[in-house]
Amino acid sequence: MKKTLGPTRCLAAAASAMTATLVGITLGLAQPARAAEVTQTADPAIAAAVRNITAAHVQADIDKLVSFGTRSTLSAQDPASIAAGRGIGAAREWLKSQFEAYSKECGGCLEVKTDEFVQPVGPRIPQPTTLTNVYAVLKGKDPEAAQRVVLVTGHYDSRRTDVLDPTGDAPGANDDASGAAVSLESARALSKLKFRATIIFLTVAGEEQGLNGSKHFAQMAKQAGWNIEAVLNDDIVGGDKSPGQDAKIVRVFSEGLPSAADEKQLRQIRGLGGESDSTSREVARYITEVGGAYSPGVKPLLVFSLDRYLRGGDHSAFNDQGYAAVRFTEYRENFNHQHQDLRTENGVEYGDTLKFVDFDYVARVARLNALTLAALASAPAPPAAVKVITTNLDNNTTLTWGASDGASGYEVVWRDTSAPNWEHVKSVGDTTTTTLDISKDNVIFAVRAVDKAGHRSLPVVPVPER
């Protein structure tokens, strides 16, 4: 399926050409040669696997997570409470058992692991508290490519109005059992396939207390030198069924200036006009292309901002460690249904309960996530050391790059500096250098690697080489 990413400029050019003719003057507006549209190619095996993600499974997952009463990070995790099925300990054990069950179905293809640590006392942690992130690893089939990782995450902890209340009911159906369900469903569907790169399906604790689980996990990844290419964080993807919701749209937030950039890097970004080309933003654009290729029933609305006003999320913990990470959130949130004790006041219902969650919507968002993970994990490595040669002052653009593992060719993509998404693509074959008759001063370029089946890597924007 094809997708039009940037017709506006061509229509505008055509319109001005027409105006010029109408008044009988030829302004010599040369219509630029129409380059190919920037798309991803749908892979039938991936499409088939992702069709197994269903609203019924999503609903079963969210029902179960809500059934633990509270999943406050401060709630019970002793053996008796786990046996009784109440508190975050019971939720953790159930998540582990789900991942293990999926692994059994694929002949042990998933490595199910926990990242357990003690969070010291802090503003929202009254006493040292054991936190456990639960995750499953689907190792890439090729040993070298398996070093590359893509990751999906949602937080399984919940909260009440008082974030320090460890005992009262905190169902957290939308925030964020929905996101945990996206991780679970992605794992269940994608574990039926084998990928070039590694996929990690993560569920974290401690989000509501201060992103503690994701901070610990991201730091661990950084210290271990993990090459995580993309993090998809799903938080509040329940599609709250209040008026004004658009169940065909999911927002995708991405940072502009990378939070991990140092002064020198920030100077370079300013100098090159790179404010909208963080690796996180390239992931966001990639999600748009995947959505266009597979039509999962929900469209990503790219929001060029780290997060919503006054709010934060687990993706920023990964951004802080220098990883590309984006946040998926429903189109319109109902704040009466988040972080609220269950009650009715003046006829208004408060609380994050099952009745407000649109399970079909969560399934569509899960499909978009799984498709993105699968596309990235099937793709060759993004080209390394992409450079634009600036030895001479001229109106051409020469790009060079290093060969990518798994690539059979490369494509140059570009867009107007004011355009949100990549607009043009040119296949340049199996080479590591090319020269285009387009000025590097007028557009933003990037290079991406392609394999024989048409899987595309993330594009990489060049740095100048004198």
Q: Which is nearer to Zn ion, 176 or 282 (CB)?
A: 176
Q: Nearest distance from residue 9's CB to Zn ion, in Å?
A: 38
Q: Residue 300 phi/psi, 5° resolution?
A: -75, 130
Q: Nearest distance from residue 63's CB to Zn ion, in Å?
A: 19
By the rule CB under 5 A, 175 interacts with Zn ion: yes
> Prior bond to 176 cis, omega within 30?
yes
SS3 of residue 388 by DSSP: strand
* Contact range with Zn ion by CB under 5 A, out of 75-83, 176-184, 366-374, 458-466: 176-184
Burial profile 228-258: b = 16 or more Cβ within 10 angstroms, e = fewer: bbbbbbbbbbbbbeeeebebebbbbbbbeeb
* CA 386 – CA 431 distance, rounded (Å): 13
Q: Which is nearer to Zn ion, 235 or 289 (CB)?
A: 235
Taking CB under 5 A as the criterion, which residues in 11-70 touch Zn ion?
none
Q: Which is nearer to Zn ion, 98 or 178 (CB)?
A: 178
DSSP code string of 220-239: HHHHTT-EEEEEEEE-S-S-
> What one-character DSSP code corresponds to residue 40?
-
SS3 of residue 181 by DSSP: helix
Q: Which is nearer to Zn ion, 132 or 457 (CB)?
A: 132
Of residues 43, 93, 229, 235, which one binds Zn ion by CB under 5 A? 235
The angle subtended at Cα 465 by Cα 459 and Cα 466, nearest 5°, is 160
The angle subtended at Cα 89 by Cα 350 and Cα 314, nearest 5°, is 65
DSSP code string of 425-460: EEEEES-SEEEESS-TTTEEEEEEEE-TT--BPPPB
By the rule CB under 5 A, 234 interacts with Zn ion: no
Residue recorded with tokens 């790219």: 302
By the rule CB under 5 A, 240 interacts with Zn ion: no
Q: Which is nearer to Zn ion, 156 or 294 (CB)?
A: 156
Number of residues that bind Zn ion (CB under 5 A): 3
Q: Nearest distance from residue 311's CB to Zn ion, in Å?
A: 9
* CA 367 – CA 216 distance, rounded (Å): 27
Q: Which is nearer to Zn ion, 176 or 330 (CB)?
A: 176
By the rule CB under 5 A, 358 interacts with Zn ion: no
CB 337 within 8 A of CB 240: yes
By the rule CB under 5 A, 423 interacts with Zn ion: no
Q: Nearest distance from residue 103's CB to Zn ion, in Å?
A: 27
* Contact range with Zn ion by CB under 5 A, out of 143-151, 168-176, 343-351, 428-436: 168-176
Q: Which is nearer to Zn ion, 234 or 423 (CB)?
A: 234
Q: Which is nearer to Zn ion, 155 or 440 (CB)?
A: 155
Of residues 43, 61, 157, 176, which one binds Zn ion by CB under 5 A? 176
Q: Nearest distance from residue 233's CB to Zn ion, in Å?
A: 9
Q: Nearest distance from residue 65's CB to Zn ion, in Å?
A: 13
Q: Which is nearer to Zn ion, 61 or 235 (CB)?
A: 235
Q: Nearest distance from residue 313's CB to Zn ion, in Å?
A: 6
CB 238 within 8 A of CB 356: yes
Q: Which of 398, 251, 270 is nearest to 332 (CA)?
A: 251
Q: Nearest distance from residue 113's CB to Zn ion, in Å?
A: 23
By the rule CB under 5 A, 333 interacts with Zn ion: no
What is the maximum alpha-carbon separation in the chain? 86
By CB under 5 A, name the binding residues for Zn ion: 175-176, 235
